[in-house]
Structure formats: structure tokens, C-alpha cells
Structure 1
Amino acid sequence: MSRFSYSTTGSEVVAAFAEQVTGKTFVITGASDGGLGAGVAVSLAAAHPATILLLGRTENKVAPVIDTIQKISPSTTVLFVEIDFASCASVRTAAAKVGDIVENIDALINNAGIMGAKFSLTPENVESQFGANHIGHFLLTNLLVSKQNAIGKGARVINVSSQLYQFSPVRFDDYNFSNGAVFNTWEAYGQSKTANILFSVALAKKLAERGVRSYSLHPGNIQATKLSSQIDPAEFPIVGQMIVDKKIAMPREKTIEQGTATTLAAALDPELDNASGAFLDDCNVATPLAYASSQENAEELWALSEKIVGQNFSY
């Protein structure tokens, strides 16, 4: 029985597993000030990790987070690495920089994401939410494993998903929504969040012999982040009705501190050692819908993702 629940904070998780943090190296994507990634990084600082790399698009949005971490833990090396997850070229450049900076990564936390975007295509001709939320992280993770040899035995890969994955399975035959002709931004977001879960399922199997574990998770209903700040207000009644129609149980709201807890449990909790590939909610293992936990779907997504990025990864 986990010691953690809905109300657990990220700081409480780090305090419980400080020995899993001290002297270790963490890479966190999407760490702009005020967001979940920033909250995760600041919570980790209390236990004095050796290195935290913060990957994002805009350095000045991450600079306050770096300042806060350095005040909490002056011994921790904290660096910003520029990346645009909608561009495979940018991801490749960032992965090379990360590989130059660190030799090992104890936890790669794939937290960055966009939500509710209008229809657009990435340079690889992929719908933007699927591209930024999944394809970019798929490429980064695999480059750090196979090219940089940056993740060693006992490390973890964390993919931040959402309960809104229930909006859509991965549309393997039409992930671009007929080039926007049948586009629904919430189905597109759901598809990308389902992909996050399936990616962890695939990683858990493929990297088991290397001792690398992977988890996906729902951080909670957190309105305090800026994730929804760019959404057209006309979309909110639509998403509200979809939640009702699909009978999605939305829990009461969490603070950012509470919202970081499940990510940190996925990265640190030794009780999860035998649950690689699991989907977590409120710091505990949960059961996603069949289309999001199917090994067959995970393999199909892997093959599709390799095709999109133009590179095969074998383990």
C-alpha cells in the first residue's frame, strides 16, 4: 500500500526518497517558471542532486527556475538547453548538447507539452500536439539511450500523460485528422496523451534488459499552470461536454505542489521497481483503458514513430 495519495506534495515525495536524489542527474523537459516541470525541479533541489538539465524553448522563462534551484542547492549544476519538440532537427541538436554535458541520466522526465492547439503541422508533417507531445519526446529519449548512452542501469524514463487520454486512441491510419478536415483539438490532445502511455509500455519492454524502467502518469487536475493559457475560450464548452459524454471522472483540483508528486513518485519510488510500464495516478498504479495499455498498440506506435523520425531504434 503506497504511503502517498491525492494530497501528497512533491516535497514530501522528495523528502521520503532523498537518497534517490542526492548526487544524481535529472533531465526535465518543459520547465518554464510556474509550470509542473519547474515545480518538479525545485522540489528535487531540496535533496541536492548533482545536475539538473532543464530543456525548453525560451531561456528567459526558465531562468527564474534556475535561480531558485541554485539558491536552494548551490552545489547543484543547473543548465538550460534549448529545444523545440515540434522540430526533430531541434530535438537532435538538443540531444547532442545533453550528451556533451552529462555521462549518465538517472531520470529523464518528459514533461513538456501543448494542449488545445489549432490545427497545424510540424516540419515532419505531423499534427502539432502529436508531434510536440509524443514524437519529439520519442526521438529525444531514444537518442539519449542509444546515441549518447546517457541512461544507465537503474535509470527511469517518465512520460507525463493525462486522464484526458480518454478523448482518443492513437489514430494509426489518420493521425493528422485528414490534414485537418476532421480535426478536433481535444481528440488530438487525447491521441498525444494516449501515445505517452503507450510509449512507456513499449520502453518498459524494450529496455528491461538494460535495467531502465519507464512510467507514464496523470499529474492531476491542475489549473494553476499556464498549459491552457493559449486555448481559444470557445473550446472550453466543447471539452466540458466531451468530459461528460465520455464519462471521464475529473478529480478535485490540485495545487502545483500536489501536481508534481506523481511525477516525482514515478522517478524515485523504489516500490515501483516491479511495475515498469505502469500508468500512475495520485502516486499509485492505475489501470488505463485497453487501447492505452495494449502491447500490440505500443509496438504499432513505436513503428509509426520510427517512420516519422526517419530512424530505427533497436534494443
Structure 2
Amino acid sequence: MSPYSYETTAEEVANDLKPQIAGKTILVTGVSPKGLGAAFAEIIAQYGPECIILATRDLSKAEETALAIKATGPSVRTHSVELDLASLDQVRKAATKIQSFGEKIDVIVNNAAIMASPYFKTVDGIEGQFAVNYLGHFLLTNLLLPDMLARNVPIRIVNVSSNGCRYGPVRFGDLDFSDGKHYNRWISYGQSKSASMLYTKALAEKLGQRNVHAFSLHPGVIMTNLGRSVAMEEFAELGEKIPQSNIERELDKVQGHAHYWNQSFGFKSPSQGVATHVFAAFSPEIEKSNGAYLTNCKVKDVKHVYCWTRDSVDAERLWELSEKLVGQEFTF
């Protein structure tokens, strides 16, 4: 049973898991300074990893984080790579660049995301939040997996999701909200996060016998640049806590998520926010729960995980749809 809680910091978890972190090579997406990916990388750098590969859209931001890592873990090798998850062609180029480093990746943390953005389509004609939060990571990870599997060592894939998955399942018949006509930014966000959880389920089922362990997680509510699309006037301050945005609350009422109707929540610190990242990436105790969804450094009871995020049929359906969208089949 995990001894951790809502208040647990990443340093506490990393200190306990130092033997598992030591010597590992980790790829992290979304590593702009002050974001969760950067916080995760900077914290684990203190506990002896061999190498951290930093992938983000703005290469200069990755290099800033690399400098911060050098300050906390001088012996840790770093590589920075440009990764634009809104372009499948650029994702492929990023995968090739990562492979050119010659590093033996043990852990992938798919952390990059956008939240509740206005409607847009990518250069590939795919709805933006679905593409950035899920599909780009699907392609990147699957391109890197063959080299990782060839080493015949344990592999860990972490997909950062959100309890925002409650806002909607994958809309298999209408991924792009009828070209934006029916777009709701929170339902779109929910779809992308549900997709990340189904991808986690598929990885565990397809590759669990080959020593691949995949986990999705909800990090909590942390004040980062992720919320830049959400106008802060949607939130009313209430001491140290804030209620949900009015838009989210109305969706919860319509969809019947009564637990959230009058719930207030406090912000986690960045360190508390990435504690579950560290736990998901390195804890040996969760290997028996392959494919699970984690919150507060614990495996969430499956009875409290939304069915559209954990259904094996939908997981396979999404895998096949994703292969069509990226124009490539993956058989491992």
C-alpha cells in the first residue's frame, strides 16, 4: 500500500525510489521552465539518472531546463530536441533525432499538453487538443518502442492524463466536433485525456508480456502555463481555495458528476504535482497493476475510473483509428 498522499512531494517519492531512478535514461515531453515536465526532470536529476532527453516545441525552453538540470544534477547527460506535437511530420523528425542520440531509453513520460484551447485544426487536419495531447504522443512513443523493445529490458511509459477525462469519451464518429460547429473546449479536453488513458490500456495489453508497463495519471491542480487558454476571470478566489470554473461546473451538472458540483480545490505545488509522475515512472510496486490510472501516488480503484477510459474494446478501436490517422501500422 502506497504511503503517499495529496501533500506528498516529488522529492519524497524520488528519495524512496532512488535505486530505481539511478542509471536510467528518461525522455520527457513538455519541459518548458515552470511547467510540470521541467519540474519532474529537475527533481529526478538529483537522484542519479544517467540521461534526460528533453522534448518540447520551443527548443530554447528545453535548453533552459537543461541548464537547470545541470545545476541540480551536474553528472546527468541531457539532450534537447524540438517536438511539435501538432505536426505528424515533425513528430517523426523528432523521433529520428532522438534515435540519433544513441541513448538507451528506459522511461517515456508523455507530459506535454494544452488545455481547453479555442478550436483549431493541425496541419494534418486533426482537432488540436486530440492531436497535441494524445495523437502526437501515440506516434512518438510507437516510433521509439522498437529500439526500446530490442534491448529486452523493463520499459515504463507514463501518459499524463487528467480527471478532466470525465468530460467526454473519444468521439469515434466525430473527432473534430463537426469541423468545430459543435465544439466545446472542455469536452474536447476530456476526449484527449480519455484517449491517453485508452492508449495506456492498449500498451499494457499489447506489450505487457514484453516487460512494458504503462500508466496514466492525474497530477492534481497546479498553477502552470497549461492553463493559459483558460481566462482567470472564470475563477473566483476563496481564501486559499478556488471553486471550479463556471463552465466546468455546468458541464458536471449536465453530465451528472455530482461529486464536483460544489467542490473547491486547492492548488498543489509543482513538486506535489509531479510526485505521481515520479511514482508512475519508477515505482516497482505498481507493476502488478499494468495499465492503471494513478492519483496522489496511488492506483485508483477501477470502480472509480470512468468506463470509457478503461474499456479494452475502445482501446483497440482507438489504436486502429490512430494508425489510420498517422498513416502507419504498428506491430510489435
Any unmatched runs of 5+ in structure 2?
Answer: 235-244
Q: Within 2, Cα distance between the matches of 1:182 and 1:94?
A: 33
Cα 1:110/1:152, change in 2 over 3 Å: farther
**Structure 2 letter corresponding to 1:238:** I
SS class of match (1:214): strand
Corresponding position of 2:258 = 247
Deviation digits for residues 251-298 of structure 1, max 9, x if unmatched?
432111100001110001110011110000111111311111100110
Q: Residue 140 of structure 1: CA displacement?
A: 0.4
Corresponding position of 2:281 = 267
SS class of match (2:153): strand
Corresponding position of 2:141 = 141
Among 239, 246, 249, which residue is 1:237 paired with?
A: 246
* TM-score for both structures, normalised by structure 1: 0.95
Cα 1:128/1:150, change in 2 over 3 Å: farther
**Structure 2 letter corresponding to 1:291:** W
Corresponding position of 1:213 = 213
Deviation digits for residues 109-162 of structure 1, max 9, x if unmatched?
000000111111112211000001010000001000126757752110000000
Q: Residue 47 of structure 1: CA displacement?
A: 0.6
SS class of match (1:277): coil
Corresponding position of 1:5 = 5
Q: Within 2, Cα distance between the matches of 1:9 and 1:217?
A: 15
Matched, 1:97 2:97: yes
**Structure 1 letter corresponding to 2:227:** S
Corresponding position of 1:159 = 159
Corresponding position of 1:65 = 65
**Structure 1 letter corresponding to 2:249:** G
Deviation digits for residues 21-68 of structure 1, max 9, x if unmatched?
111100000000000001100111111211000100112223332111
Aligned 8 A contact 1:170 1:192 in 2: yes
Any unmatched runs of 5+ in structure 1?
Answer: none
Corresponding position of 2:292 = 278
Alignment of 1:42-191 (within 5 A): 42-146=42-146, 152-191=152-191
**Structure 2 letter corresponding to 1:112:** A
Q: Within 2, Cα distance between the matches of 1:232 and 1:220?
A: 19
**Structure 2 letter corresponding to 1:94:** A
Deviation digits for residues 61-87 of structure 1, max 9, x if unmatched?
233321111112111111210010011
Q: Within 2, Cα distance between the matches of 1:79 and 1:194?
A: 30
**Structure 2 letter corresponding to 1:314:** T
Aligned 8 A contact 1:146 1:313 in 2: no
Q: Residue 230 of structure 1: CA displacement?
A: 2.9
Corresponding position of 1:311 = 328
Matched, 1:16 2:16: yes
Q: Within 2, Cα distance between the matches of 1:149 and 1:295?
A: 23
Q: Residue 221 of structure 1: CA displacement?
A: 1.5
Cα 1:73/1:147, change in 2 over 3 Å: closer
Q: Residue 234 of structure 1: CA displacement?
A: 7.2
Number of aligned positions between the proteins: 314
SS class of match (2:106): strand
**Structure 2 letter corresponding to 1:299:** E
Matched, 1:295 2:306: no
Q: Residue 248 of structure 1: CA displacement?
A: 4.8
Q: Within 2, Cα distance between the matches of 1:189 and 1:175?
A: 12
Report the identity percentage: 40
**Structure 2 letter corresponding to 1:260:** V
**Structure 1 letter corresponding to 2:226:** L
SS class of match (2:186): helix
RMSD value, Cα: 1.7
SS class of match (2:81): strand
Which stretches of structure 1, 4 residues or more, deviate above 4 A after TM superposition?
A: 147-152, 232-236
SS class of match (1:191): helix
**Structure 2 letter corresponding to 1:19:** P
Q: Within 2, Cα distance between the matches of 1:35 and 1:94?
A: 20
Deviation digits for residues 167-200 of structure 1, max 9, x if unmatched?
0000001011011110001000000000011000
**Structure 1 letter corresponding to 2:97:** K
**Structure 2 letter corresponding to 1:131:** A
